[in-house]
Structure 1
Amino acid sequence: MSITMQEHTGRTALAEWRRVCAIDDLELSWGEVALLRARQIAVFRIGADEVYAVDHRDPHTAAPVMARGIVGSRGERPTIASPLHKQVYDLGTGECFTDPNLFLQTFRTRIVGGFVEIELGEDA
């Protein structure tokens, strides 16, 4: 299924939603990896209907390890800490709390009919 989305820049980009798995296949506070368009994406179920998706590559080392990171929070913001050097990232925005020079790519998610879907843009 493809849809056209308006980006913040005013450009139109083709976005595609890809079904990954059933929501019940994901354990709470545990990461899994999905392979979409030859790209590894870490998927985390935080609540009953709350799922986040981020690049599986650690921004600091480029190692594919983020799905094995430590899930936590900073106030109301869900986070993931890299399992290698423990940099902490906001799961929703990709902002790094411990090093402002690092950024973790995030992907929009949705649950449709009990299945998790991840939005991929042209660059994914």
Structure 2
Amino acid sequence: MSALPMNSTDSLDWTDICAVDDILPNTGVCALVADLHVAVFRTGSDQFFAIDNVDPKSGASVLSRGLIGSLSGRVVVASPLYKNHFDLQTGECLEMPEHSVRTYSVRALRGRVSVAGAPAA
């Protein structure tokens, strides 16, 4: 999910991840949020997204190391292992929908990136 204004998500429990500038454009980082490995991405247009970091096909915690791009108008990350593409807004695996991942609410506020502790609905 893209960065959200604070008033629309006040009821969520947020985990502070890092400074906005710690995530370079078009890259991702891994964070531990409520005991889950979460991949947090920053696009070149300064949008932020968060999905599960574990690649469902391999079980390895590697999605944060994938390449960000776009396919058919969707912002995606390609898994570094099997090259499956995951939609950063929905978590859908484009090649194998049964391998889709969860998404998390993420916000950039006052120069800090935070992720909600529970997967987005």
Q: Residue 93 of structure 1 contacts residue 106 of structure 1 at CA under 8 Å; is this kept in 2?
A: yes
User: What letter is aligned with 2:18?
Assistant: C
Long gaps (5+) in structure 2? 1-8
The alignment's TM-score, normalised by the length of structure 1, stands at 0.81
What corresponds to 1:75 in structure 2? 72
Per-residue Cα deviation, 1:31-63 (whole angstroms, up to 9, x for no partner): 111112222111111035311111110011211
Check conservation: 1:79, 1:90, Cα contact below 8 A.
Answer: yes
Does structure 2 conserve the Cα–Cα contact (< 8 Å) formed by 1:57 and 1:66?
yes
Q: Kindly name which structure, 1 or 2, has the bigger radius of gyration based on alpha carbons.
A: 1
- Please give the root-mean-square deviation of Cα atoms over the aligned residues, in Å: 2.0
Mean CA deviation greater in 112-121 or 68-77: 68-77
1:47 is paired with a residue whose SS is coil
Q: Find out whether 1:85 has 2:74 as its counterpart.
A: no
What amino acid sits opposite 1:36 in the alignment?
Answer: V
Counterpart CA distance in 2 for 1:31 and 1:94 is 15
- Could you tell me which residue of structure 1 aligns to residue 22 of structure 2? 25
User: Matched residues in 2 for 1:37 and 1:99: separation?
Assistant: 27
| Residue 120 of structure 1, CA deviation | 1.5
The structure whose RCO (Cα within 8 Å, separation 6+) is larger is 2
Is there any run of 5+ residues in structure 1 with no aligned partner, and where? 5-14
Q: Give distance in 2, aligned partners of 1:47 and 1:119.
A: 22
Matched, 1:59 2:56: yes
TM-superposed deviation, 1:26: 0.6
- Give the length in aligned residue pairs: 112
Query: What is the alpha-carbon distance in structure 2 between the residues aligned to residue 67 and residue 50 of structure 1?
Result: 15
Amino acid at match of 2:41: F
**Matches of 2:67 and 2:46, distance apart in 1:** 20
1:45 is matched with 42
Equivalent of residue 35 in structure 1, options 23, 32, 35: 32
Aligned equivalent of 1:105: 102
Q: Percent identity?
A: 37
Report which of the two has the higher share of helix: 2
